[in-house]
Each structure stands twice: as C-alpha cells, then as structure tokens.
C-alpha cells in the first residue's frame, strides 16, 4: 500500500502575522492554500497515482485541501474525516507568534519543538506525544486492513501531527530530527510505502511546485 501524506496549504496570507494554530483554531485556507492543493493534485497526476481513498482531519484547512485535490483530479470520491489526523492542541502556545513563544517560554523550547519534536513542559499540549503515536499507528493499521496492497491512499493532516508518521519507519524520526528536517512545509508531500507489514520512507517534505517546475520532472 502506498500512503501519500499532505500538509494542508497556507492559512495565512502575506499581510497576516502567522501564529501557532492547533486543533482549537479552525482556520480556513487562504487563496495560496487552495493553489497549493491544486499543485499537489498535479503532482499526483504526474506520478500517475490512482487514489483509492482520501482521508483528512476534522479541521476546515485539511478538509478544504482534500476536497480541492479531489475536485482537481475529478475523482469520484468523498473525503473521509478521521480524528486521528487532527492537529495537536498547542495549549498555551496557541495563537502566539514565534517571538511571543520565545519571550514567554524560551528560545530553546521553540527550537526543541521545531527541530526535535520535543514537547514543552507544563504548556498544556494535548494529547500526549505517546497518544499521537498510538493514533497514527492505529490509523495506518486500519488502512492496511481496509485496502489492498496495490492501492494508493491520500491523507491530509497538519504540521504537528504529520511528523509522527515517521515513527512508523524504524529510525526515520530520529534521522530527520538529527538533520533538523522534521517539519513539513504547507502543501508539501510525503510518501510511505507498506509491504509485508513493514513501512519504508519514499519521500519527505517534497514540494509539488519544485517537482512540477523541473525540466525532467523526476520523482524523488
């Protein structure tokens, strides 16, 4: 089974100040976010992947991204909402800029999350990182029970949740953390393949725009 993972597109336009938005902030996509979804769909078309099912979390931004991909590809599918793809609740960081987080909780705390996915202590993040891993594992286990080995599944989620799919591939999470490459940019693509009960990492934080603009358009 091939699992395509997308981080939803932009929720902030250039004139807006980005802040931490988690599961309590149900922000819609801005215009660029919809364009990112269209480019993601074009990448799927380029790769000639036939999507069998589309899942997303309950937030508007993930649902709108998934629905735009379906519409662009003219798929005869409906988005399936799954709470196991919901964004984290960033607790006391919610609604704050990076600068505000650094001022209130320390520069090291922000860097630890961005680079190593280390959760800040006593900031009321929910659920626990252990529970997030359990949910991600459960979601993928259910996919493998429901879908055939040759099928391709698209799942749209958010930045905090998405990095924990790396936990399904032995050593992948630690490797990306060491490289400071855990974070996935808005609208970017990741891919995990599953065979004989084992997961392999095929792509991480791949920019559809960069792939589509390359002369050779080689998938990496």
- If one compares 212 and 75, the residue with the highest pLDDT of the two is 75
Q: What is the pTM of this model?
A: 0.94
Give me the CATH number covering residue 40: 3.40.50.1240
> How many folded domains does the chain comprise?
1
Identify the pLDDT of residue 49: 86
Q: What is the pLDDT of residues 12-62, one digit of tens each?
A: 999 999 999 999 999 999 999 999 999 999 999 998 889 999 999 999 999
- What domain range is 100 assigned to? 2-213
- Asked if the structure places residue 199 within a domain, the reply is yes
Residue 147 inside a domain? The answer is: yes
Helix (H/G/I), strand (E/B), else coil: 159: helix
Which has the closest alpha carbon to 123: 110, 133, 136? 110
- What are the start-end ranges of the E strands in 98-162? 152-157
Per-residue pLDDT at 220 exceeds 60: no
Percent of the chain predicted with pLDDT > 90:
91
Q: Where are the beta strands (DSSP E) in 136-197?
A: 152-157, 189-195
Does residue 66 fall inside a structural domain?
A: yes
Residues 6+ apart with CB under 8 A from 192: 2, 3, 5, 140, 165, 168, 169, 199, 200, 201, 202
116-172: pLDDT as tens digits: 999 999 999 999 999 999 999 999 999 999 998 889 999 999 999 999 999 999 999
Domain assignment present for residue 219? The answer is: no
57 within domain boundaries: yes
Cα 115 to chain center, whole Å?
Answer: 16
pLDDT in the model for residue 149: 86
At residue 213, the pLDDT reads: 78
pLDDT in tens, 72-124: 999 999 999 999 999 999 999 999 999 999 999 999 999 999 999 999 999 99
Between strands 2-7 and 152-157, the pairing is parallel
Q: What is the pLDDT of residue 91?
A: 98
Stated as kind and residue range, the H or E segment containing 5 is strand 2-7
The whole-angstrom separation of Cα 215 and Cα 199 is 31
Residue 218 lies in a domain: no
Mean pLDDT of all residues in 5-12: 98
What Cα–Cα distance (Å) separates residue 192 from each residue in 95, 165, 197?
32, 9, 12
- What average pLDDT does range 206-214 have in this prediction? 85
Q: How far apart are CA 195 and CA 35, in angstroms?
A: 33
Question: 220 lies in a domain?
Answer: no
pLDDT digits (tens, 9 = 90+) for 183-205: 999 999 999 999 988 999 999 99
> What is each CA distance from 136 to 21, 131, 168, in whole angstroms?
20, 9, 8
């Amino acid at each position: 089974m091939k699992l395509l993972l997308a981080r939803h597109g932009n929720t902030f336009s250039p004139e807006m100040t980005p802040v931490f938005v988690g599961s309590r902030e149900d922000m819609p996509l801005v215009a660029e976010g919809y364009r990112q979804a269209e480019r993601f769909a074009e990448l799927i078309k380029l790769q000639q992947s036939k999507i069998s099912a589309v899942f997303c979390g309950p937030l508007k931004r993930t649902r709108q991204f998934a629905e735009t991909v379906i519409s662009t590809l003219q798929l005869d599918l409906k988005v399936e909402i799954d709470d196991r793809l919901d964004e984290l609740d960033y607790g006391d960081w919610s609604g704050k800029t990076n600068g505000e987080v650094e001022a209130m909780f320390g520069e090291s705390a922000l860097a630890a999350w961005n680079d190593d996915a280390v959760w800040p202590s006593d900031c009321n993040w929910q659920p626990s990182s252990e529970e997030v891993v359990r949910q991600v594992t459960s979601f993928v286990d259910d996919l493998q029970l429901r879908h055939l080995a040759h099928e391709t599944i698209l799942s749209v989620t958010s930045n905090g949740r998405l990095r924990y799919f790396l936990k399904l591939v032995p050593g992948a999470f630690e490797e990306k953390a060491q490289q400071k490459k855990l974070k996935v940019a808005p609208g970017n693509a990741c891919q995990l393949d599953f065979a004989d009960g084992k997961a392999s990492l095929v792509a991480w934080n791949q920019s559809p725009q960069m792939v589509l603009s390359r002369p050779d358009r080689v998938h990496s």
